[in-house]
Structure formats: structure tokens, C-alpha cells
Chain A
Amino acid sequence: MKFYIPPQIPRLALAFAVFISLFLILRHFLIPETFGEYGHYRGASLIDNTRPEIHYAGQQACFKCHQDIEDKKAQDVHSDIHCETCHGPGEKHVISSKAGDILKPSGRVFCGSCHIINAGKQKSTINQIDLDKHNVGKNCIDCHNPHQPWEMKK
């Protein structure tokens, strides 16, 4: 049964069909391959996020060479502190074994970054000192062995 279709409709339908097809084709080529594997994201991004370089080696790496310090540290109050907390990132040094590739910090300001007295710190967590009163002018490690702080040097 013939019915009247106004000429605008097929022409517009064609225009829209062309546009939508172009869009779908473009989309097919632009969409990243791994998209949607695990969720609404590029699956390959999970691998991308594992690529950044490691800077901190973790103290087990330190202990492979420095067992003597491992033993010393285990006996005193700094036992739970990991090496890189004070010595900074150690991965470079683990690879090169050069002393210059890792920090050997000392000084009142450095030790004070943890130990300086502050009302926000619990006394049960850490011993605190007033840097302006406690042996002013001396370096902390003049008396305290940083790996065995209560083994006073004298």
C-alpha cells in the first residue's frame, strides 16, 4: 500500500546514517586495544603503573651486604627503623655499591627531625629532646651510635 513519505525524511535519514557510520568507524580505530578488559579503563594501564623506577630498595637488600649493622640495630631501640628511613633511597647504591650513591646523614637538625620535642608526639613512642638545651654545639653521633643509640661512645 503506497503512502506518502515527505522528501525531507529520507534525505535527513541518509545524512544521519552517513554521519553515524563515520563515527562508528572512527571509533573502532581510535579505541585503545586493551580498553574494557577489567573495567572501564585501558587494561594495559595496569602494566604501565608497574613501570616506574624503584628508588627505595627495602632493608632486606641492605642486609645482604651489611649483616653486621643488621645485628647491631636489632639489639637497640632503632631496631624497627628501616635503613632507608635515615639513609634515603638506596636502590642506586644496591646496584653500584658506591658509597657516594647513598646518604650518610648526621647533625642535630637531622636527628632532630624525629627527636625534637613537640607536644604532638607521644612520649611513649619516641624519646624527645630540646635541641636548644641538650648538649648544644655537639653532633648527636659524637655520643650516640645511630645503629645502637644507647651504646654511648666515650
Chain B
Amino acid sequence: MGNEKIITSRRKFLKTATALAGATIGYAWLKSSQILLFAAKPKDESLPWYGIVIDIQKCIGCGNCAKACKNENDVPLEPFYFRTWVEQYTIKNDGSVNIVSPNGGIDGFKQMAPNEDIFKSFFVPKMCNHCSKSPCTQVCPVGATFESPEGVVLIDEKYCIGCRYCVQACPYGCRFIHPVKKVANKCTLCYHRLKKGLAPACMETCPTGARMCGNLRDKNSELVKFLKEHTTMILRPHLNTGSKLYYNALSSEVR
């Protein structure tokens, strides 16, 4: 009988103690972890919210963008590391689709089939989509990649541990591990240039104006006007990445 009383009060004590401990730990955890599961909401309205448009009708596959990017951003020249690259799609009359990107398009392209066999052909530049619901940001275990207040997805090279989870998580294949720095690397929309009022290197050197970036918040910007007047599409819409890279004249063969 006495034993039962002891057991009950012990149980009560343990229950209360656990509850209190659990609550304290839970609160401390929540406070410090700053859960950012979903879209980065553009908090500071005075900052631009960057978006990108690529006009496939204008791209001539000259490769200047890919070359300029490597020059500007200290990317190794070997054909395994690209912050941006250009693909050529050649769809033949028999329905087969051929995709190539020799050295990312830096040295230009050779036509892959004689004119009479070609149904249609076009060039597609690829780069980081600077997603607003970025899957690469979601999976980084330490917070070494993030969406800046301007909507540019950046990498903290001093903090990245090189786990490569972000490289796996990007559906667009735009991330890689820098062979010398040994951390993740990708297109930063030339953030260091944007902050000085300069255009990203790829857009500066595109001869046909196929690439543009601008402030999605500014209704009078070239970018927003273009979006209004053209039918644009993002890559992998079913993955709900919140991609801010809008393609004009994107054909269904493109992944």
C-alpha cells in the first residue's frame, strides 16, 4: 500500500520533470534554429527582388556568356565546372532529339546534322535559377547556402562543409564542387557586380540580349515588361522550386 503511494508520486514527479525538461529544450531548440522550411519571403521591400529572363529565340550559341562567366568568377577552365552553360537541341525529322554542350558551349557549336534532316534546332543557356523555394537551400545541413534578401541564392564559402547534398538537390544541375576551394560553387548572379550597379558578366557579354536580369518588383523594368508581353516558362515547374528564371520560347524537349 505504502509502495503504491510511492510509485504514484514518483510517476507524477517523473512526468512533470520530463514535461518541464522537454518544454525547455523544445523552446531553446526552436528559438535557435530559425525554421525556414518554405519560401524566403522578400522581407525588405526597398531591395530589388531579382528575376532572370532568357530568350531562346535570341540565343545564337556563341558561348560568350559561359566564357565571360569563367573569366569573371575564377571558375576552373576544365570542361567539368560551369556556373552557366549553353546546350544545343537538334530535333530531326525522325523525331530523335540530340542534345550537346561541348565544353559548355564556350567554343561554339557545330551543326549536328544536315539542314534537310533537321526539324528544328535551338540553343538553351542554362544557369542557376535562383529559386524562391530553393531546394538546395532547404537541404543544406549547416546554412552555408541561402537566399539573400534580394532573392539571389548564394554560397558561404567559409562555412560550407562540402557534404554535396545541395548538388544532389538541385534539379537543374547548376551546382558543383570547386576543385581548388573544395566547397560548393554556382552562379551567384554576379552578386558582387549587382551590388555595384553592374550587369552580371554573362548578360554584359551576350551579343543578342538573350539574357537579362532585373527587379521583379519594378513594374517599369525591362524584365517585367518582357514578362508581360511574352509567354514564358520555367524549367521543371512540377517540382515547385519557385524558379525565377523565365524562358521565352521554351520548347517541350528541354529539361
Chain A interface residues toward B at CB < 8 A: 1, 3-5, 32, 35-36, 38-42, 45-46, 48-52, 54-56, 58-59, 80-82, 84-85, 88-89, 112-114, 116-122, 125-126
Which residues of B sit under 8 angstroms from A88, Cβ to Cβ? 71
- Residues of B that sit less than 8 Å from A by CB: 5-6, 9-10, 13, 33-34, 36, 40, 43, 57-58, 60-64, 68, 71-74, 88-90, 107-111, 115, 118, 120-123, 143-149, 154-159, 188, 191-193, 195-196, 198-199, 201, 204-209
Q: With CB as the reference atom, state the residue of chain A lying closest to B106.
A: A113
Q: How far is the CA of A48 from the CA of B111 in the complex (A)?
A: 42
Asked if A89 and B72 sit within 8 Å, CB to CB, the answer is: yes
Once the chains are docked, how many angstroms separate the CA of A120 from the CA of B158? 41
- Nearest CB in chain B to that of A45: its residue: B156
Q: Pick the residue among A39, A56, A112 that contacts B146 (CB under 8 A).
A: A39
Residues of B within 8 A of A125 (CB): 57-58, 60, 208
Please name all residues of chain B whose beta carbon is closer than 8 Å to the beta carbon of A112 when the two chains form the complex: 108
In the complex the two chains form, is B57's CB within 8 Å of A52's CB? Answer: no
Nearest Cβ in chain B — how far from A136, in angstroms?
Answer: 18
Nearest opposing residue in chain B for A24, CB measure = B28
Is the Cβ of B198 less than 8 Å from the Cβ of A58?
yes
| Interface of chain A: mostly helix, strand, loop or mixed | loop
Q: Which of A1, A32, A89, A114 contacts B159 (CB 8 A)?
A: A32
User: Do A118 and B193 touch (CB < 8 A)?
Assistant: no
Give, as a whole number of angstroms, the nearest-CB distance from B182 to chain A.
16
A94 to B122, CA, bound (A): 36
| Separation of A116 and B123 alpha carbons in the complex (Å) | 14
B154 near A49 (CB under 8 angstroms)? yes
Closest A residue to B209 using CB positions: A80
- CB < 8 Å neighbour of A52 from B10, B58, B107, B192: B192
Across the interface, name the chain A residue whose C-beta is closest to B188: A49
Cβ-defined contact, A81 with B207, below 8 A: yes
Measured between beta carbons, the chain A residues less than 8 angstroms from B89 are 120
Bound-complex Cα distance A59 to B198 (A): 10
Q: How far is the CA of A116 from the CA of B108 in the complex (A)?
A: 9
- Chain B residues lying within 8 Å of A49, measured Cβ to Cβ, are 148, 154-155, 188, 191-192
What residue of chain A has the Cβ atom nearest to residue B145's Cβ?
A: A41
Q: Report the 6 A-B pairs with minimum CB-CB distance, sorted nearest first.
A: A41-B146, A45-B156, A120-B121, A40-B143, A119-B121, A85-B205
**30 pairs, A vs B, C-beta closer than 8 Å:** A3-B10, A4-B6, A4-B10, A40-B143, A42-B143, A42-B159, A48-B157, A49-B148, A50-B195, A56-B72, A56-B205, A80-B209, A82-B204, A85-B207, A89-B68, A89-B72, A114-B62, A118-B60, A118-B61, A118-B110, A118-B111, A119-B111, A119-B115, A120-B109, A120-B111, A120-B122, A120-B123, A122-B58, A122-B60, A125-B58
The answer to whether B193 touches A54 (Cβ under 8 A) is: yes
Residues of A within 8 A of B144 (CB): 41
For the complex, give the distance between the alpha carbons of A80 and B109 in Å: 23
Complex Cα distance, B6 from A51, in Å, reads: 67
Q: Determine how close the nearest CB of chain B comes to the CB of A53; give it in whole angstroms.
A: 8
* Minimum CB–CB distance for B68 against chain A, Å: 6
- Considering only CB atoms, which chain A residue lies closest to B57 in the complex? A122
Q: Is B209 in contact with A38, judged by CB distance below 8 angstroms?
A: no
**Chain A nearest Cβ from B25, distance in angstroms:** 9
* B192 partner, pick from A50, A113, A121, beta carbons under 8 A: A50
Inter-subunit contact A113/B63 (CB<8 Å): yes
CB-defined contacts of B204 to chain A, threshold 8 Å: 56, 58-59, 82, 84-85
Contact of A114 among B72, B148, B207 (CB under 8 A): B207
Task: List residues of chain B with CB within 8 A of the CB of A42.
Answer: 143, 156, 158-159
